[in-house]
Amino acid sequence: GESVGLHLPTLSVQEGDNSIINCAYSNSASDYFIWYKQESGKGPQFIIDIRSNMDKRQGQRVTVLLNKTVKHLSLQIAATQPGDSAVYFCAETPDTGRRALTFGSGTRLQVQP
């Protein structure tokens, strides 16, 4: 079936640098996308979302970019901090009224002090 996947399983960055986490999705009907952060021993935590009628959305230190042409999603974290170390998942749901999410496999972000 269609799925959401990630290019890089682990990303290591220096504290203060910007981080970019990428995600590819295969369902062209995907309408809504979310990035989640999961710290060890905890449930996923919402970071930022974006609908398919947008190509960019900014939050506090985070930006999500959506390229529907190539079905690619990215999460940019500015001035990465040690507290950003976690596994990041992208997730998508199609515009069919079914609002359950399909999750990617996750990228581990390691921030070096």
Partner 1 sequence: DARVTQTPRHKVTEMGQEVTMRCQPILGHNTVFWYRQTMMQGLELLAYFRNRAPLDDSGMPKDRFSAEMPDATLATLKIQPSEPRDSAVYFCASGLVLGKATYEQYFGPGTRLTVT
Binding site for partner 1 (CB under 8 A): 31-32, 34, 36, 42-46, 49, 51, 89, 93, 95, 97-106
Q: Least distance in Å: CB of 46 to partner 1?
A: 4
Q: Which is nearer to partner 1, 80 or 93 (CB)?
A: 93
Nearer to partner 1, 61 or 103 (CB): 103
Q: CB-wise, 50 or 111, nearer to partner 1? A: 50
| Nearest by Cα to 23 from 71, 81, 94 | 71
Tell me phi and psi for residue 84, to 5 degrees.
Answer: -85, -10
Give the nearest distance from C-beta 101 to partner 1 in angstroms.
Answer: 7
DSSP per-residue letters across 10-51: EEEEETTS-EEEEEEE--TTEEEEEEEEE-TTS--EEEEEEE
Chain centre to alpha carbon of residue 10: 13
Smallest gap from Cβ 79 to partner 1, in A, equals 24
